[in-house]
Structure 1
């Protein structure tokens, strides 16, 4: 069954909306998962720092006890050196543990008890060392044999070991959560990509069917009676033109709309790669990570992840702009034309008045010809056409040259009225004369804001009115847009319906 214009537009809009919703779902879920990964990583660092501080303090106390025992047994100064070195580092290790543990209530409340045990242990160590220095080695050995020092050390091992065990358990849970988030991010990307590819595939199918219907209609027109040869030629020309527009539209949907998606997929892979650096830091199998691992993990969290998110956001914004532009032209194509008498001279004067202050700023002028006719057409469409051409003349005026704009009309015979809109702006290169009417295409230096939909919109409007627009221009010499407009749109509509 042939597909109608309304069905084609409706299907295209539905597919575009589905693609946009899929993309927004991917981006929203990806941002949420990345945020969770960043939170996990921050927690990893803080918990690991507490664990490291507890391990360092315990190791330092062990070194002090080892030096004390060696000095008590031998009485030689060489065995006391580890004790002295460890004694100097204990205060620093205690301060580091207190600072790191203060971030967590469950650890901070244990610090007072640990500090008390450390103080008692240091007193016990100092007493035995002092006894040996005073020549009372036997007394020092007896103090060691009382097991007071061993019991204090066992209590310290239990409490510091408890902190390390809690930290290890929390790190394991965090790693599991991070791995789950990474897997969810990967599946979100895969499912979203499949959904968008499905939307693009559906768009291609609809466009292909519509194109086949147009070709079939053209062949049917070519078989009409010879007495209708001129009408057949006109219909054929319109069908070819519509076919080309559909093909360009298919290119936009399948290529321009897909490019931002490729960027999103690429930078999602970069997020996955950045996660590897974080995992290398977190999953260090109980041994301290290297300085390179720490730097790489921090760089991934502070640079790679934000950069990838930024590129994903910019690609999303670009795709949203493409979708909105296509929807704008699609809506105009579906709007019901309101046919009425339109005075083109008055319409041109209104458009010139709207940009009058900008023309005056360049000491320029606008000349409206007296021969502009009155036509039966759609006023809103003609207002948009004239407004866009005036705006383009202002936007692309030649620097330092007073702006001159003229709007004149002449008879085009059976083709209807011909309206020439001329300015003395910077002009358009010959190779871009047709390109400027394509959707999302612009010519010359890209130094002015815009998305490349203005002239494409103008051509779409003119063709909806049964006319057309072409351009004559030379670089640096100005531009003339030539509009062909039928005198009575109602007759064109009846002819198309016949």
Structure 2
């Protein structure tokens, strides 16, 4: 059943509202769970800090006790090194424990007892060390044997262990809570993404269905109306160009073919005059004078040979002109074979054929930037077009710099394909921009072989493919030929015939 415009609007508005609500829910839940996760992470960090500070403090007290006992046994100051080091670090480590434990619950009383026990233990160690230094070893040993130091150490170890146990419990609780928050956050994201994808899928289905119906209806209308003015304009332009070409062609035929014919007629008339001294010599026979004989020999060997040479040259020129006209005429009648053409590969092949000429000099070469990989057209025509234009860029290079050629393909209006062949060659004068496409016309210094039919042939092939060719150039700076073609020759033909 066709989708009405009202249904399309209502359904998409509803889906949009649901999607926004789901998105807001996901964002709110994610923020709350992220905040909880950060809080649990802080608790984990605090518990780990307490555990580390507790272990470090216990290790310092044990080091101090070890140094004290070594000193009592040996009475050598070297054995007090652990004691002195522990004593220098003790205040800072106590501060670390107090700061870390302040963030945990139920450790206040334990921390107070640890502080008291630690003060007593360090006082006991200091008293024994001081007595030993004064030589009163008996008093020091009596203090050790009294067991007060051992009891203080046991109490301190017990209370520090209790703090560790408490911190471990809070650490496990915080880790479990953090895992739960992370799991909830993950499931919230997954469920929310599924809901959003479902809403997007439903909206996409509605939009695609509605758009498909619109496109079908629009295509029917376009079949009848859209492009009519464009086709009229294109056909008018084509007729104008065809008329101009017919006029130019008629001029070329009458002018360029007439020139060698006039030469032939002129030298034919001269031949008649050249045979007069020969005829006089033949008529005179044996009575001919030496002057008559010399004149006849000069006419036969020099003048007649020269005239025949000029006549032969003129006939060759006429033959070349006629063959060029026939070539372009046959190209216009050739049946085009429409197929999918790998445009990028075709350009690369054409460039590879002359790459050795372009890259022979340092910093020279051919650069290809193809953004239109394929077209539907006639492969042979495209191959001849690209080969001719790239070959011309090589042929008419500037003698004072390495040749650089850039070939680019782009999409433009209505999806048409634009092919640009840019070079840094010697350039073309502005007055010759249109003239170079005429048959037997060439531009600039004629220091390369050619008859002036290449670009005329190229334009004929381009127009047979439904496109056109233009040129931008400046003397001394280079030339850019732009070929514009329909992306699908078969579709273009159907549109032109409609």
Q: TM-score scaled to structure 1, two decimals?
A: 0.53
Return the alpha-carbon distance in structure 2 between the equivalents of residues 457 and 256 of structure 1. 17
- The within-5 A match list for 1:87-486 is 228-284=228-284, 288-363=287-362, 364-414=364-414, 416-486=416-486
SS of 1:382's equivalent in the other structure is helix
CA gap of 1:349–1:226, structure 2 versus 1, over 3 A, is closer
Return the alpha-carbon distance in structure 2 between the equivalents of residues 362 and 317 of structure 1. 38
CA gap of 1:226–1:401, structure 2 versus 1, over 3 A, is closer
Worse-superposed segment, 266-275 or 412-421: 412-421
Return the alpha-carbon distance in structure 2 between the equivalents of residues 375 and 461 of structure 1. 16
Return the alpha-carbon distance in structure 2 between the equivalents of residues 407 and 487 of structure 1. 18
- Deviations 1:279-313 (CA, angstroms, capped at 9, x unpaired): 222223x7833443222211111111111111111
Contact 2:371 / 2:409 at 8 angstroms: preserved in 1? yes
Return the alpha-carbon distance in structure 2 between the equivalents of residues 455 and 481 of structure 1. 10
- The within-5 A match list for 1:7-86 is none
Please state how far the C-alpha of 1:410 moved relative to its aligned partner.
Answer: 2.4
Contact 2:370 / 2:410 at 8 angstroms: preserved in 1? no
Please state how far the C-alpha of 1:415 moved relative to its aligned partner.
Answer: 7.2
Q: TM-score scaled to structure 2, two decimals?
A: 0.53
For these two proteins, the number of residue pairs brought into alignment is: 273
Return the alpha-carbon distance in structure 2 between the equivalents of residues 337 and 462 of structure 1. 12
CA gap of 1:432–1:227, structure 2 versus 1, over 3 A, is closer
Contact 2:328 / 2:457 at 8 angstroms: preserved in 1? yes
Please state how far the C-alpha of 1:346 moved relative to its aligned partner.
Answer: 1.1
Contact 2:267 / 2:307 at 8 angstroms: preserved in 1? yes
Return the alpha-carbon distance in structure 1 between the equivalents of residues 227 and 408 of structure 2. 37
Return the alpha-carbon distance in structure 2 between the equivalents of residues 440 and 351 of structure 1. 25
Structure 1 spans left out of the alignment, 5+ residues: 1-224
Contact 2:367 / 2:407 at 8 angstroms: preserved in 1? yes
Structure 2 spans left out of the alignment, 5+ residues: 1-224
Contact 2:405 / 2:422 at 8 angstroms: preserved in 1? yes
Aligned to 1:134: none
SS of 1:283's equivalent in the other structure is helix
Please state how far the C-alpha of 1:227 moved relative to its aligned partner.
Answer: 9.5
- Deviations 1:110-165 (CA, angstroms, capped at 9, x unpaired): xxxxxxxxxxxxxxxxxxxxxxxxxxxxxxxxxxxxxxxxxxxxxxxxxxxxxxxx
Contact 1:415 / 1:484 at 8 angstroms: preserved in 2? no
Aligned to 2:488: 488
RMSD: 1.9
Return the alpha-carbon distance in structure 1 between the equivalents of residues 355 and 232 of structure 2. 45
Return the alpha-carbon distance in structure 1 between the equivalents of residues 373 and 226 of structure 2. 35
Contact 2:370 / 2:407 at 8 angstroms: preserved in 1? no
Return the alpha-carbon distance in structure 1 between the equivalents of residues 247 and 461 of structure 2. 18
SS of 2:287's equivalent in the other structure is coil
CA gap of 1:472–1:429, structure 2 versus 1, over 3 A, is same
CA gap of 1:235–1:444, structure 2 versus 1, over 3 A, is same
SS of 1:392's equivalent in the other structure is helix
CA gap of 1:484–1:281, structure 2 versus 1, over 3 A, is same
CA gap of 1:431–1:339, structure 2 versus 1, over 3 A, is same
Please state how far the C-alpha of 1:372 moved relative to its aligned partner.
Answer: 3.1
Aligned to 2:82: none
CA gap of 1:361–1:463, structure 2 versus 1, over 3 A, is same
Q: Which has the larger radius of gyration?
A: 2
- Deviations 1:147-191 (CA, angstroms, capped at 9, x unpaired): xxxxxxxxxxxxxxxxxxxxxxxxxxxxxxxxxxxxxxxxxxxxx
Please state how far the C-alpha of 1:324 moved relative to its aligned partner.
Answer: 1.1
Contact 2:372 / 2:411 at 8 angstroms: preserved in 1? no
CA gap of 1:290–1:415, structure 2 versus 1, over 3 A, is farther
